[in-house]
Structure 1
Amino acid sequence: MNRFLNAFGQCLQFLIAAMLMIMVVLVFGNVVLRYGFNSGIIVSEEVSRMLFIWVTFLGSIIALRENSHLGSNFVVRAFGPAGRRACLIVGRVLMLGICWLVFSGALDQTRINLPVAAPITGMSMGWFYASGIAFSVAGALILLCDLFTLATSPMATVDRFLDETGERA
């Protein structure tokens, strides 16, 4: 499963890079056209905003996978091995609850906004909220793998979850 998640993370990194490139081309091209030729790319702002939202949520998936999200490890490190493991498991379970909240809210908003068209592109506004669904499903999968690793691995592997470099077991 770790191999699949690592490959998935690399695909996400490539997708994010492509989205960022499209955003740069659209925004830079729009600036050049506005100031140089008194025209512009009409869909530039709307497409860039949608891509930015997706880049943010997809980047959050990568941060969760690489264990590079914000955390206060100094409290967890104060415990013994069993306490560290328990704290990490409780933290992952709480994050699973947050994933459920994000999923249910994003699903509701996607359903509501599917028939709503964006003003310029005419694209369904449901695509904006679908990024929350993508994040919560992928995040839950990562967290479930983390829980399995935390519950079944020796303490040396568990301590890697506290490593500041974000390396995975």
Structure 2
Amino acid sequence: MKTIADLYFRLLKLLIVLCMLGMVVLVFGNVVLRYAFNSGISVSEELSRWFFVWMVFLGALVALKERAHLGLDSLVKRLPPIGKRFCLVIGHLLMLFITWLILSGSWQQAQINLDVVAPASGLSMAWFYGVGVVFGINAGLILLYELFLAVTGRLSADELVTIKDSEAADEIEHLQHSQQARAGRKA
């Protein structure tokens, strides 16, 4: 099961790269065509905006799975394991509620705009709002799985803190521990 999930998120990363590549090609190509040939790609602006929205939502999914979102952990990391678990459960329940709002709102918008076509491309606007549905389903599954692990006690004390202040803070903490270890050896 883990292999399937890893392959799925590798596919998402590939889609993110393809969205970025599509944006670059469309925008750069449009600029070159406008300045060099006094013409352009009429769907360039619209499709690049759609690629950007899909790239952001898919990137947020990958970051959620890899626990790569930034946050403030200075209080939570000082709590005992039961406090960390409580904060994780409350945080995940709140995120599940927000994910539900995104999912239900995007689903309603996709249904409303199913027959509405985009002005430049002629594609259904449901494709634009569909990314919220994709995000909501995937984020909900990730959050439910992590909530299950937290409630059943399958996460270590370190895994209960799902965010980091920044990578610089981790490096500073590592350097402080190194200095304390050296000071302990000198004494």
Matches of 1:92 and 1:77 in 2, distance apart?
17
Alignment partner, residue 124 of structure 2: 124
What's the Cα RMSD here?
Answer: 1.7
In the alignment, the residues of structure 1 paired with residue 160 and residue 105 of structure 2 have an alpha-carbon distance, to the nearest angstrom, of: 34
Under a length normalisation based on structure 1, what TM-score does the superposition of the two structures give?
Answer: 0.90
Structure 1: distance between partners of 2:22 and 2:12 = 15
Aligned equivalent of 1:10: 10
Match of 2:94 in 1: 94
The equivalent residue for 2:82 is 82
1:71 Cα shift? 2.0
Matched residues in 1 for 2:146 and 2:2: separation? Answer: 10
**Structure 1 residues 100-133: Cα deviation after superposition (integer angstroms, max 9, x where no partner):** 0101111111111111111111101111111111
Q: Matches of 2:98 and 2:49 in 1, distance apart?
A: 25
Q: One-letter code of the match for 1:149?
A: L
Q: CA deviation at 1:159?
A: 4.0
Structure-1 separation of matches of 2:107 and 2:155: 38
TM-score (norm 2): 0.82
How many percent of aligned residue pairs carry the same amino acid?
47
Give the match's secondary structure for 2:117.
Answer: coil
Contact 1:149 1:158 in 2 (8 A): no
Deviation at 1:162, TM superposition (A): 4.7
- The 8 Å contact of residues 88 and 161 in structure 2, kept in 1 or not, is answered as no
The structure with the larger Rg is 2
Confirm or deny: 8 A CA contact 2:88 2:160 kept in the other structure.
no
Moved more, 129-138 or 71-80: 71-80
Give structure 1 stretches of 5+ with no counterpart.
none
1:69 Cα deviation after fit: 1.7
Alignment of 1:22-33 (within 5 A): 22-33=22-33
Unaligned runs of 5+ in 2: 168-187
> Residue 135 of structure 1 aligns with which residue?
135
The residue identity in structure 1 corresponding to 2:35 is: Y
Deviation at 1:8, TM superposition (A): 1.6
Deviations 1:19-50 (A, max 9, x none): 11111111101100100110111111111111
Q: How many residue pairs end up in the alignment?
A: 165
